[in-house]
Amino acid sequence: MIPLSVPQIGGNEWKYVKDCLDTGWISSVGSYVSQFEQMVADFAGCRYGVACMNGTAGLHIAQILSDIQPGDHVIVPNITFIATLNAITYTGAEPILIDADPNNWQMDLDILEDFLDKNTYLVESGIGDRVSINYHSILTHRPIKAIMPVHVLGNVGDMDRLMSIATKYHLTIIEDSTESLGSYYKGKHTGSFGQFGVFSFNGNKIISTGGGGVIVTDDEDLARKAKHLTTQAKASSIEYIHDEIGYNYRLVNILAAVGVAQMEQFPQFLENKHRMDKFYRTELEGVGDIAFQKVRPDVDPNCWLFTFKTARMRDLLDYLNKKEIFSRPFWMPMNQLRMFKKLLYVNKEDHSTKLYESCISIPSSVGITLEQQETVVKEIKHFFGS
Ligand SMILES: Cc1ncc(COP(=O)(O)O)c(C=O)c1O
């Protein structure tokens, strides 16, 4: 079996985990946690990192600290993993879904801008210097507070344009950068554009801690609050005094130890991914009706999970999995999931459905060998008869 995307454990993981076990520092306090969160923040070019038990928890905290209240709206792409929307709904806010750009498969910014332009109105509220300015939805009369771009598959959209839309419409940017550690737009790392960025380190990501996440931000106060909220909002180091409702979301030291070892190897992992991507693109170009995800020239993606389009996706999926080449379809668009069917889905041609019906992800582990890649390519060519 050639797996889809499995972790590569080849560095100091055993040594650092043993260190935790030997010293008894296995839980949520320990030096690996702070070391890991700082390593991730440094890599992403952000000042602060706050380690969480997973990316979803990090996204939830980022929502809370962006003042997302019950009834507010947060804008998200319709093509994403469900965790993006879950994190919003935990706060009681309601997502607004934007269709995908058929070229780069990120949120379609033409549709986003057109929606904000034609379907919202400006409201100033509050008293004294606590005035808030928000655009409200014409449909629901509720404030639209934030945009959560998702760097789908480690690719990146037009961040300059997104940031200027956010400024114009008074929207906070919370980046779901969970898939994009190692991805850059004009030399700037993902996660460093918004008020917050959140990375995930679950089993299929480019580095893994088994489960884990890191929130990054440049704002010292927000970083302090994020750490506070992820550690049960404990207000005293000795006494059990808590000053708000907090969460038990902190990453544990054992897993952070794995993360430190993974970060040490990350530059090599990134190189492997680029090599893998180049091989697939070269070998699969012109095979059958295969079409690749478009990457802007000013984007340097991390090439996380190799995914392409073909009208014969379902048959190819069956074929490859029967050959023990583990392959997966794309996410079902969020507007098609039972819980989200009633959400506002802004689209013109519903490219989300087209992507869902045609995209297939193929084996892309950091440690995939050339021989394994050759097998994958050979079978895909055989399937298409080329
Ligand atoms: C786009 C996206 N958002 C959020 C998450 C959630 O991350 P985690 O699995 O660490 O909770 C993931 C990864 O699973 C993801 O791919």
pLDDT tens, 199-236?
Answer: 999 999 999 999 999 999 999 999 999 999 999 999 99
Which pLDDT score is estimated for 128? 77
Give residue 346 CA to ligand 1 midpoint distance, Å.
23
CA atoms within 13 Å, Cβ hemisphere of 119? 15
| Residue 60: strand pairing partners | none
Pocket probe mutation, ligand 1, options 107, 155, 179, max atoms within 8 Å of Cβ: 179
Does ligand 1 lie within 6 Å of residue 336's CB atom?
no
Closest ligand 1 atom, residue 212 Cα: 10
User: Taking every pair of C-alpha atoms in the chain, what is the biggest distance, in angstroms?
Assistant: 71
Which pLDDT score is estimated for 61? 98
Residues 6+ apart with CB under 8 A from 366: 7, 8, 206, 269, 272, 273
Give residue 133 CA to ligand 1 midpoint distance, Å.
31
Domains in the chain: boundaries: 13-263, 266-384
Closest ligand 1 atom, residue 58 Cα: 11
- 13 CB neighbour count, 10 Å cutoff: 21
Give residue 79 CA to ligand 1 midpoint distance, Å.
13
Which amino acid is it at 380? I
Q: Whose CA is nearest to atom 10 of ligand 1?
A: 55
> Residue 304 and residue 364: Cα distance in Å, rounded?
7
Which pLDDT score is estimated for 126? 81
Could you tell me how many helices (H) and strands (E) the chain has, helices first? 11, 17
Does ligand 1 lie within 6 Å of residue 202's CB atom?
yes
Give residue 8 CA to ligand 1 midpoint distance, Å.
19
Spell out, as residue ranges, where the chain has pLDDT lower than 70.
none
Give residue 325 CA to ligand 1 midpoint distance, Å.
23
Does ligand 1 lie within 6 Å of residue 150's CB atom?
yes
Q: Whose CA is nearest to atom 8 of ligand 1?
A: 55
> Residue 333 and residue 152: Cα distance in Å, rounded?
13
> Residue 63 and residue 45: Cα distance in Å, rounded?
21
Q: Characterize 120-157 residue by residue with b for buried, 16 or more Cβ atoms within 10 angstroms of its Cβ, and e for exposed.
A: beeeeeeeeeeeeebbbbeeeebbbbbbbbbbbbbbbb
> Residue 30 and residue 232: Cα distance in Å, rounded?
17
Does ligand 1 lie within 6 Å of residue 77's CB atom?
no
| Residue 143: strand pairing partners | 136
Closest ligand 1 atom, residue 56 Cα: 11
Give residue 149 CA to ligand 1 midpoint distance, Å.
13
DSSP-assigned letters across all residues of 62-75: HHHHTT--TT-EEE
| 3-state DSSP assignment of residue 126 | strand
Does ligand 1 lie within 6 Å of residue 84's CB atom?
yes
The kind and range of the H/E element at 296 are none
Per-residue model confidence as pLDDT tens digits over 239-284:
999 999 999 999 999 999 999 999 999 999 999 999 999 999 999 9
Give residue 182 CA to ligand 1 midpoint distance, Å.
16
137 contacts 73 by C-beta, under 8 angstroms: yes
Closest ligand 1 atom, residue 202 Cα: 10
Assign a CATH topology to domain 266-384.
Aspartate Aminotransferase, domain 1 (3.90.1150)
69 contacts 172 by C-beta, under 8 angstroms: no
Pocket probe mutation, ligand 1, options 202, 208, 307, max atoms within 8 Å of Cβ: 202
- Using CA of residue 338, residue 344, residue 347, residue 348, what is the dihedral sign? positive
Closest ligand 1 atom, residue 201 Cα: 10
> Residue 329 and residue 306: Cα distance in Å, rounded?
12
Which amino acid is it at 74? V
Assign a CATH topology to domain 13-263.
Aspartate Aminotransferase; domain 2 (3.40.640)
Does ligand 1 lie within 6 Å of residue 310's CB atom?
no
Q: Whose CA is nearest to atom 4 of ligand 1?
A: 83
| Residue 62: strand pairing partners | none
Does ligand 1 lie within 6 Å of residue 200's CB atom?
yes
Give residue 349 CA to ligand 1 midpoint distance, Å.
27
Give residue 173 CA to ligand 1 midpoint distance, Å.
17
| 3-state DSSP assignment of residue 231 | strand
> Residue 37 and residue 30: Cα distance in Å, rounded?
12
* Phi/psi at 205 (5° precision): -85, 175
Does ligand 1 lie within 6 Å of residue 179's CB atom?
yes
Tokens of 306: 């190799």
Tokens of 342: 């009633």
Same fold, 13-263 and 266-384: no
